[in-house]
Amino acid sequence: MGYSDQRFDVNLSILFTELPLLERPAAAAAAGFTAVELWWPWIETPTPSQTELDALKKALDDAGTQLVGLNFYAGRLPGPDRGALSVPGEESDRFRANIEVAADFAASVGCKALNALYGNRVEGAEPQVQDALALENLVLAARAADRIGAILLIETLNKPESPYYPLVSAPSAIEVVDKVNAATGLGNAKFLLDVYHLSMNGEDVGQVIEAYAGRTGHVQIADNPGRGAPGTGSLPLEELLGQLSKAGYDGWVGLEYKAGDRPSAESFDWLPSEARAAR
């Protein structure tokens, strides 16, 4: 059990960022990967032109890469924002404008997982008001995901790096998953288990896997400290992924780490080339 049993994908919003967006799928393919994921690529707009959407679809298709995860619009990411859906006013409106655009694009490329980052607590807004808005927007997002046969992902981030983000433990994200599923009756909201964020929060990742593997729709990994490639820190990532497999998780494992000073293509030496193409 371990790396050879996993289905890996490359997050093209954190790896290969030395290249323009439309060149990244081909670069991932050249490194041996056939599956990729993305944060919402158009930071400045929730509603890019059809021309831009078509160009990204063509880049993915031409490279032979399958998009397996896509974030809804989330504000400036990476940057000060951590999502838009719980932020009253313009950001919530932008998230809503993005829901069907993101779902339609995901459908056009066969992507079956949409990640909705919750958003930061903001001054002047009561937490309960933000949470009520979040549930409204997540219900809309879950229905849009269901329309295209996809799941909706809810992600835990970490408090040291995201001090205003309210979902900074596995149970806090699972609570939101349960609320969304109760409100829609669809059952398509799932937990995004990010090993790095859980570790940064001081959670026992093994215990989280034991408790929530059955509720997990997607996994992301990076080593800690440093958010680098596996082997650059102290996390037993191969062991944790083996535990996930034993617990019945057979979904995607997103490589969401920083390549550091190396070109991204040189950051995969921990993973044998024969284990990179999705099976």
State yes or no: is 155 an active-site residue. Answer: yes
Predicted pLDDT at 126 = 98
Listed in sequence order, the residues at least 6 apart from 144 whose beta carbon sits closer than 8 Å to its beta carbon are 99, 100, 102, 103, 114
> CA-CA-CA-CA torsion for 51, 17, 244, 142, nearest 10 degrees?
-30
Q: Single out the catalytic residue among 37, 91, 203, 256.
A: 256
Alpha-carbon distance 126 to 142, whole Å?
24
pLDDT averaged per 10 residues, the chain (length 279): 86 98 98 98 97 98 98 94 98 98 98 98 98 99 99 98 98 98 98 98 98 98 98 98 96 98 97 92
Alpha-carbon distance 6 to 206, whole Å?
17
Predicted pLDDT at 2 = 67
State yes or no: is 238 an active-site residue. Answer: no
Alpha-carbon distance 10 to 229, whole Å?
12
Cβ pair 130, 87 in contact under 8 A: yes
Q: What is the pTM of this model?
A: 0.98
Rg over CA atoms, the chain? 17
Alpha-carbon distance 49 to 105, whole Å?
11
**Distance, CA of 90 to chain centre:** 23
Predicted pLDDT at 4 = 84
Per-residue burial over 65-83, b = 16 or more CB atoms within 10 Å of its CB, e = otherwise:
bbbbbbbbbbbebeeebbb
Question: Longest C-alpha distance within the chain, in Å?
Answer: 52
Helix/strand/coil for 78: coil
Q: Single out the catalytic residue among 37, 91, 155, 238.
A: 155
Helical ranges in 33-188 per DSSP H:
50-63, 90-109, 127-147, 170-184
Q: What does 177-241 look like in DSSP terms, one character per residue?
A: HHHHHHHHS---EEEEEEHHHHHHTT--HHHHHHHHGGGEEEEEE--TTTS-STTSSS--HHHHH
Residue whose token pair is 């009561």: 126
Strands 7-11 and 252-255, how do they pair?
parallel
